[in-house]
A and B are shown apart, each in its own frame.
Chain A
Amino acid sequence: MNNHLLWIAVLLPLIGAVFAYALGRRRARYALWGMLASSLAALIPLSVLLWQAANGQAGGWTSASLCAAGISLASDGFRALYAWLSALLWVVASVFSFSYFKGKENVPRFVFFSLLTLSAAVGLFLSDQLQTTVLFFEVMSLASYPWVAHSETKESLRAAQSYLWIAVIGGLCILMGMLLLPGELLAMRYSQGFAPETVPASSLMLPAVLMLVGFGAKAGAFPLHVWLPKAYPAAPAPATALLSAVLSKAGVFGVLLLSAHVMREVAAWHILIFWLGIATMLLGGVWALLSMNLIRVLAYSSMSQIGFILVGVGLYGMLSYHGGIAAQGLAAHMVNHSAFKMLLFLCAGVAVMRTGKRHLNDLRGFGRGKPLLHVIFLMGMLGIAGVPPFSGFASKSLLHESLTEYIHLLHGGAWLYTAAEWLFILAGGLTAAYMLKLYVCLFRERPEAEPAKTPYMTRASVIALSVLAVFPLLAGLFPSVFIGGIGRAGAEFLQTEARAVSYFSAENLLGAAESIGIGLLLYFAVVRGLLSEKTEGGRSYMNPVPARVNLEDMLYRPVLKMLTAMAAWFSWAVSLLPETLAAWLRRALLHVRAWRVPMPGGNRFTYAVGDLMNGCVSMLNKTILKNRPATVDFSVALAAGNEELGRSMKRLKRSLSYSLLLFCIGLFGLLVYLIFFK
Chain B
Amino acid sequence: MQSILFVLVPAIPLFFGAWFLFARRFRAAAAGAGLALCFAAVAALTITGDGVQTLFSVAPGVTFMFQSDGAGRLFGLLFSGVFMAAGFYALTYFKHEKNPARFFAFYFFSLFALMCLCLAGSLLTMYLCFETLTLCSFPMVLYDRTKEAVAAGIKYLLYSIAGAMMGLFGVIYLTLHTTSPTFVAGGSLTAELLADPPALLLIALFVCILGFGTKAGLFPMHGWLPTAHPIAPTPASAVLSGVIVNAGVLCIFRVIYFAAGTEAMRGSWVQTALLSLSLLTVLIGSAQALRQKHIKRRLAYSTVSQISYILFGLFLLQSAAAEGALLHTVFHSVMKTCLFLCAGALIVYGGTADVDEMRGIGKIMPVTMWCFTVAGVGLVGIPPLSGFLSKWVLARGAVQSGMPVFYWLGPVVLLVSALLTAGYIAPVVLTAFFPGDAAVSLRARRAPVGMIVPLCILAALALLFGLYSVPLRNAVDTILRALL
**Chain A residues within CB distance 8 Å of chain B:** 65-69, 134-135, 138-139, 142, 146, 149, 152-154, 157, 160, 164, 168-169, 171-172, 175-176, 179-180, 183, 564, 567-568, 570-572, 574-575, 577-579, 644, 648, 651-652, 655-658, 660-661, 663-665, 667-668, 671-672, 674-675
Contact = CB atoms under 8 A, between A and B. Distances in A.
A656 B418 CA distance: 30
Interface in B55-111: none
Contacts of A169: 419
Contacts of A661: 158, 161-162, 165
Contact of A157 (B169, B211, B415, B436): B436
Interface string B306-348: 0000000000000000000000000000000000000000000
- 3 tightest A-B CB contacts, nearest first: A664-B165, A571-B287, A657-B158
B420 A657 contact: no
A147 to B, nearest CB: 12
A571 B434 contact: no
A569 to B, nearest CB: 9
B207 A657 contact: no
Interface stretch (B240-248, B258-266, B448-456, B465-473): B465-473
B158 A138 contact: no
6 contacts: A154-B437, A179-B411, A567-B290, A652-B154, A660-B158, A667-B169
Given A149-B430, A180-B399, A657-B155, A67 B389 contact: yes
A660 B467 contact: no
B223 A656 contact: yes
B202 interface: no
A142 B173 contact: no
Given A69-B392, A134-B383, A671-B172, 5 more contacts: A65-B470, A175-B381, A664-B169, A665-B165, A675-B176
Given A175-B392, A176-B412, A660-B162, A152 B169 contact: no
A135 B392 CA distance: 12
A570 B291 CA distance: 12
A674 to B, nearest CB: 8
A154 B430 CA distance: 13
Interface residues of B, number: 68
Contacts of B381: 175
B224 A139 contact: no
B288 interface: yes
A606 B288 CA distance: 43
A658 B223 CA distance: 12
B283 interface: yes
A571 B151 contact: no
Given A67-B467, A657-B224, A648 B150 contact: yes
Contacts of B181: none
Contacts of A570: 287
A657 B159 contact: yes
Query: Counting chain B CB atoms within 10 Å of each CB, which of A169, A579, A661 scores highest?
Result: A661
A663 B436 contact: no
B351 interface: no
Interface of B: 150-151, 154-155, 158-159, 161-163, 165-166, 168-169, 172-173, 176, 200, 204, 207, 211, 219-224, 280, 283-285, 287-288, 290-291, 377, 380-384, 388-389, 392-393, 395-396, 399-400, 408, 411-412, 415, 418-420, 422-423, 426, 430, 433-437, 466-468, 470
A668 B165 contact: yes
A274 B434 CA distance: 39
B426 A164 contact: yes
Query: Counting chain B CB atoms within 10 Å of each CB, which of A171, A180, A572, A660 scores highest?
Result: A660
Given A68-B393, A160-B434, A176 B384 contact: no
Nearest to A581: B220
Contact of B437 (A138, A152, A657, A660): A152
A636 to B, nearest CB: 18
B276 to A, nearest CB: 12
Contact of A657 (B173, B211, B223, B399): B223
Given A153-B436, A664-B162, A648 B284 contact: no
Contacts of A160: 430, 434
A52 B366 CA distance: 43
Contacts of A68: 383-384, 388-389, 392-393, 466
B222 to A, nearest CB: 7
Contacts of A579: 223
Contact of B169 (A175, A571, A671): A671
Contacts of B172: 671-672, 675
A353 B21 CA distance: 67
B436 A651 contact: no
B290 A568 contact: yes
A657 B285 CA distance: 19
A572 B466 CA distance: 33
A179 B399 contact: yes
A675 B415 contact: no
Contacts of A668: 165, 168-169
Given A139-B384, A168-B422, A571 B158 contact: no
Nearest to B408: A180
A517 to B, nearest CB: 48
A655 B154 CA distance: 11
Nearest to A206: B408
Nearest to A662: B162
A571 B292 CA distance: 13
Contacts of B176: 675
Given A149-B434, A160-B434, A668-B169, A568 B155 contact: no
Contacts of A69: 392
A176 B415 contact: yes
A675 B173 contact: yes
A537 to B, nearest CB: 31
Nearest to A666: B165
B480 to A, nearest CB: 17
Contacts of A655: 155, 158
A392 to B, nearest CB: 36
B203 to A, nearest CB: 10
Query: Counting chain B CB atoms within 10 Å of each CB, which of A134, A657, A671 scores highest?
Result: A657
Contact of A67 (B163, B280, B423, B466): B466
Contact of B288 (A171, A572, A644, A651): A572
A572 B226 CA distance: 13
A59 B173 CA distance: 62
A574 B223 CA distance: 11
Nearest to B156: A657
A567 B283 contact: yes
B406 to A, nearest CB: 13
A172 B284 contact: no
A658 B408 CA distance: 38
B468 A66 contact: yes
A652 B399 contact: no
A578 B383 CA distance: 37
Nearest to A132: B383
A556 to B, nearest CB: 14
Given A149-B430, A675-B173, A667 B165 contact: yes
B295 to A, nearest CB: 18
A667 B165 CA distance: 8
A175 B412 CA distance: 10
A571 B220 CA distance: 12
A180 B155 CA distance: 42
A139 B284 CA distance: 28
Query: Counting chain B CB atoms within 10 Å of each CB, which of A183, A574, A664 scores highest?
Result: A664
Nearest to B418: A172
Contact of A153 (B377, B380, B437, B466): B437
Nearest to A145: B430
Query: Counting chain B CB atoms within 10 Å of each CB, which of A171, A577, A579 scores highest?
Result: A171
Nearest to A573: B284
A69 B320 CA distance: 13
Given A68-B393, A575-B219, A667-B207, A139 B383 contact: yes
Contacts of A179: 392, 395-396, 399, 411
A158 B392 CA distance: 31
